[in-house]
Structure 1
Amino acid sequence: MSDTRDLDRSYVFHPFTAANAHEQSGSVMMARAAEGCWITDDTGKRYLDALAGLWCVNAGYGRARIADALADQARGLSYFHGFSSMATEPAAQLAERVMAKAPQGFSKIFFGSSGSDANDTQAKLVWYYNNARDLPEKKKIISRDRGYHGVTVMTGGLTGLPGLHAGFDLPLPMIRHVSAPHNLWTRLPEEDDAAFTARLAQELEDLILAEGPETVGAFIAEPVMGAGGVIVPPEGYFPAIREVLDRHDVLLIADEVITGFGRLGTWFGSEAMAVQPDLMSVAKGITSGYAPLSGVLVGEKVWRVISGAAASKYGVFGHGYTYTAHPVMAAAALANLDIIEEEGLVTRAGEMGAYLNATLKTAFADLPIAAEVRGKGLMAAVEFARPTPEGWRRFDPALGVAQRITRRALEDGVISRALPNGDAVSFSPPFVITHEEIDLVVSTLRKAAEAVHASLRAEDALDTTSD
């Protein structure tokens, strides 16, 4: 085992990690990747990465073409900024490529470095847009419980996960939340898709009316919720939401940080959900995680105000980052998009996603603690809960059921993720995953879940007499 584990434990401040536990137990040190879905730690142990890093290594590991594009660009022009009409060729070429794939109605793309900064930019654009329209009170942004939109001061509050608020004085006062379209815990037993959708749309409209439409600027949503549980909305959900927003002059921001560039089997999740957003955030899949890059796609309606009334009123657009439109990152993205197009990986993601979801449903159909299998495209989750005569009940969070399952699977060489706010285990493998690799992922997780189920029974954690 390498000494870098000790260096990591001593000096690295890890995100989303229990600091005290990390200081005691240290890390799993990943050392190198092979190809496709496989990665190796510093002891030589190989893992099948069923999460594609963090929902992002879409083209798979070991892509020399992307590495070469990074190196070639760094040797030629390693950096230049995008301020004051300065430009680089890779960023201009990438902008054209993205806009050609995006749904109709978008005008420009603003580049950043992460999904968090993209959604932070979105909030500023909403305020800038409404200030330019002389609507200075129209600033509130509505998000959803369990939604994930980042960790900046603004986006950490938009994220509907209490663990991202605790200790940080979040959310900020202009943020509101509505219910997630979650079948397991939000849908009423008697509701079909139409009734569930109607109730959620009405909840949104009631909130807008209660706050005052003149104060609400935007609604932000992931086409399929990621870190909040891989929650797929019912059919017709987004068109119904769009109708409510249009009635009250509220912008729709599609957070496509995970779903953009093919994960649902379409280039963008908005296509899969049959909705046209006003603004769209992308990141992760634009480079398959090989380099940090994000984008904010701006619809024509918003762009007309930015380039018209806002420019006249405020002059220079006072927002941007040192690394906006970074040429090396853009070169990586261009190589990544070449791979995705030439190998037909968007179509493949849809096909392999259907196989993954079907295989999970079959494998977990008879496990007593498997409450729901859900997903779309190459996104999937199994949620675990306690069965009772009255229906499903959440496990005591102290039991750490999902974490125990993912740790057991990790020991057996499969990487998945226990999601916050519940006991769901998620999957979002690279698009190049094979049927045999999916079978290995599912069988390993089933074995791990069976072991944890047996432990829970031994601990009397499945007792229903207290309900």
Structure 2
Amino acid sequence: MDARQEKLLRRTFLDYQATAEFMNNPLIVSRAEGLYYWDTDGKRYFDGISGIYSTLLGHRHPRVAEAMRAQWDKLAFAPPMHGTADVTLDFVEKLGSVTPDDLNYVKAFSGGSESMEAAIKFTRQYFKQSGHPHKYKFISRYQAYHGATMGAMAASGTGERKTPFEPAPPGFLKVFPPTHYRDRFGGWDEASRFAAQQFEDVIIGEDPKTVAGIILEPVSNTGGIITPTDEYFQIIRDTCDRHNVVLIYDEIITGFGRTGAMFAAHTFGVTPDII
């Protein structure tokens, strides 16, 4: 890191770490290819999390790069408030052909936090327009991460990570993941079953007429790669059906083949209402 870079680092900030701490051991990357990053000193790093889950085909994949160049030459941006683009409709068709069951209504966003904000707003708007205006609460899990914007952060259960930005918007409740109960039961099946039941207990305790949605990461990275049983998701799906609650999967880290199927909804065999 040279003097210019050090000066500029003090004029910006990084996510979830103090600049002063980062300056003690800075990581400034300059290029990437395939599965690797290189920093400004030429040191190579293995990228074990696909950027942050966004480059699952590797960095500078030639087919991806060529497709991006070809689109750039034709159209770089279409105003989303006033119209759409033909390539956007191609995207809707292509993505809708690989999503589970009948989840083929597609809206494009720029990132995971924005997508989660939209899922929250879609759900609340749906209930207001369908005669259930008091349904506004969401239940998610402690140790989950759903994004850095206010609504997505409120749905997250990351404790100290979000404390500096509180108070969060109201209407977001939490239950514990199965790992919280694993030492209290004889096996993972029992712990997952008990954890899944907590969602219905909270819905009933809060009044089902006020609960709009359940938000889940099928596999939780922040909590330690928490992978519940198939039954866990089926119990929650049944709970949502009984109480007219929308089931939302946050598949930012599991979507597009990372669990061995196109989506974790395929892997666990339980389809949500929104991915």
TM-score (norm 2): 0.94
CA offset at residue 225 of structure 1? 0.7
Identify the residue that residue 172 of structure 1 maps to in structure 2. Answer: 169
Whether the 8 Å CA contact 2:95–2:104 is kept in 1: the answer is: no
Q: Residues 227-266 of structure 1 correspond to what in structure 2 (within 5 A)? A: 227-266=222-261
| Counterpart Cα distance in 1 of 2:39 and 2:112 | 27
The question of whether the paired residues in 1 share the 8 Å contact of 2:197 and 2:235 is answered with no
- Mapped to 2, the partners of 1:51 and 1:197 lie a distance apart of 26
Structure with greater Cα Rg? 1
Could you tell me how far 1:3 is from its partner in structure 2?
5.0
Match of 2:24 in 1: 25
**Partner of residue 127, structure 2:** 130
Query: Residues 15-64 of structure 1, C-alpha deviation per residue, up to 9 Å, x if partnerless?
Result: 12223323x42621111123x21221111111222222212321012313
- Tell me the matched-pair count: 275
The equivalent residue for 1:357 is: none
Q: Is the 8 A contact 2:35 2:46 kept in 1?
A: yes
2: CA distance between counterparts of 1:269 and 1:131?
Answer: 29
| Aligned counterparts of 2:19 and 2:55: Cα–Cα separation in 1 | 27
Alignment of 1:20-419 (within 5 A): 20-22=20-22, 24-25=23-24, 27-34=26-33, 36-84=34-82, 86-182=83-179, 185-280=180-275
Q: Which amino acid aligns with 2:70?
A: D
Relative distance call for 1:105 and 1:4 in structure 2 (3 A) is farther
Alpha carbons 2:140, 2:214 under 8 Å: kept:
yes
> If the length of structure 1 is used for normalisation, what is the TM-score?
0.56
- Where in structure 2 are there 5+ consecutive unaligned residues? none
For residues 117 and 238 of structure 1, the distance between their equivalents in structure 2, rounded to whole angstroms, comes to 24
CA distance in 2, matches of 1:26, 1:201: 41
| Alignment partners' CA distance in 1, 2:167 and 2:232 | 28
How far apart in 1 are the matches of 2:4 and 2:31? Answer: 14
Shift of 1:164: 3.2
- Counterpart contact for 1:157–1:164, Cα < 8 Å: no
Please tell me whether the aligned partners of residues 16 and 161 of structure 2 are also in contact (alpha carbons under 8 angstroms).
Answer: no
Runs of 5+ unmatched residues, structure 1: 281-467
Q: How far does residue 6 in structure 1 lie from its aligned partner after superposition?
A: 1.8
- SS of structure 2 residue aligned to 1:47: strand
| Over 4 Å off, 4+ runs | 1-4
Q: Which amino acid is 2:267 matched to?
A: A
Letter in 1 for 2:150: V
Match of residue 284 from structure 1: none
State the Cα distance separating 1:135 from its structure 2 match. 0.9
Assess, with a 3 A threshold, how the Cα gap between structure 1 residues 228 and 6 changes in structure 2: closer, same or farther. same
Alpha-carbon distance in 1 for matches of 2:105, 2:3: 47
Return the structure number with greater strand share.
1
Partner AA of 1:5 in structure 2: Q
Q: Distance in 2 between matches of 1:2 and 1:127?
A: 49
- CA distance in structure 1 between the partners assigned to 2:4 and 2:77 by the alignment: 30
Q: 1:395 aligns to what?
A: none
1:313-335 deviation digits (Å, cap 9, x = unpaired): xxxxxxxxxxxxxxxxxxxxxxx
| C-alpha contact (below 8 Å) 1:5/1:26 kept by paired residues | no
